């Protein structure tokens, strides 16, 4: 069986974060996901199976540990306006109690805070961007840990922030347990995600 992946569309003109926020607010009826990357509006279609199931399997144990530490966990419906000028919506993200306390959330608006932990689950339409452009954006913004979940290879690659970029990453296979610098007590078997 051959599957055709949905195309990703991006604008040929650029806009700033305030213009993007207004534009998105007018599209509440739209099921597509929009992000602002280096000034370009990028649209990705809803992901196919098993993306959503894997997101829940990751977010549930993370949420338990994060709540115990006073941190806040978000799913892909939450937008973040990063200091880099980009507006992103990671599949799963964690904001520490310290960063959350310094943030002033406004009802119905994107958050102006940098998550410490960001998780992106690869799909055919987003894989190259998640591994390249978005990884660079997250590093430059000050994300401390970036996970790339590959459902086909059944691996999770964990990158740790080193200033304005990430290290070379460590690949966790299905026979290993994920470990996190942001959530040090996390011991999540990779096999449980798939």
- Is 106 part of a structural domain of the chain? yes
Q: How many domains does the chain have?
A: 1
Average pLDDT over residues 26-51: 88
Q: Looking at the domain assignment, is residue 16 inside a domain?
A: no
Q: Is residue 131 part of a domain?
A: yes
Does the pLDDT value for residue 108 go beyond 60? yes
CB 182 within 8 A of CB 94: yes
Whether the pLDDT of residue 2 is over 60: the answer is: no
Q: Give the model confidence (pLDDT) of 162-172 as tens digits.
A: 888 999 999 99
Whole-angstrom distance, CA of residue 113 vs CA of residue 70: 16
The mean pLDDT value of the chain amounts to 92
- Three-state DSSP class for residue 167: coil
Is residue 8 situated within a structural domain? no
Note the pLDDT of residue 84: 97
Q: How far apart are CA 121 and CA 185, in angstroms?
A: 22
Stretch 15-22: mean pLDDT: 96
Compute the distance between CA of residue 35 and CA of residue 170 in angstroms, rounded to an integer: 27
Q: What is the CATH number of the domain that holds 62?
A: 3.90.1570.10
14 part of a folded domain: no
More confident residue, 149 or 127: 149
pTM for this one?
0.91
Please state, in angstroms and as integers, the Cα–Cα distance from residue 124 to each residue in 46, 69, 90, 93, following that order.
Answer: 11, 34, 16, 21
Other Cβ atoms closer than 10 A to 9: 13
Domain of residue 169: give its range.
47-193
**Cα–Cα dist 55/191, whole Å:** 14
Q: What is the DSSP letter of 39?
A: T
pLDDT in tens, 73-83: 999 999 999 99
Least-confidence region, from 31-35, 63-67, 157-161: 31-35
């Amino acid at each position: 069986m051959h599957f055709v992946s949905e195309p990703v569309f991006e604008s040929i003109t650029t806009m700033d974060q305030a213009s993007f926020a207004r534009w998105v607010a007018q599209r509440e009826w739209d099921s597509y996901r929009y992000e602002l990357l280096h000034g370009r509006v990028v649209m990705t279609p809803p992901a196919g199976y098993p993306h959503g199931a894997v997101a829940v399997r990751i977010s549930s144990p993370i949420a338990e540990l994060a709540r115990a530490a006073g941190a806040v966990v978000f799913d892909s419906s939450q937008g973040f306006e990063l200091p880099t000028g980009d507006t992103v919506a990671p599949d799963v993200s964690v904001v520490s109690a310290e960063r959350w306390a310094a943030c002033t959330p406004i009802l119905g608006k994107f958050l102006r805070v940098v998550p410490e932990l960001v998780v992106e689950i690869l799909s055919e339409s987003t894989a190259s961007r998640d591994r390249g452009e978005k990884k660079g954006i997250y590093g430059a913004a000050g994300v401390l840990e970036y996970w790339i979940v590959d459902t086909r290879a059944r691996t999770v690659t964990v990158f740790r922030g080193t200033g304005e970029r990430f290290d070379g990453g460590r690949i966790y296979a299905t026979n290993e347990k994920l470990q996190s610098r942001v959530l040090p007590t996390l011991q999540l078997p990779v096999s449980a995600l798939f």
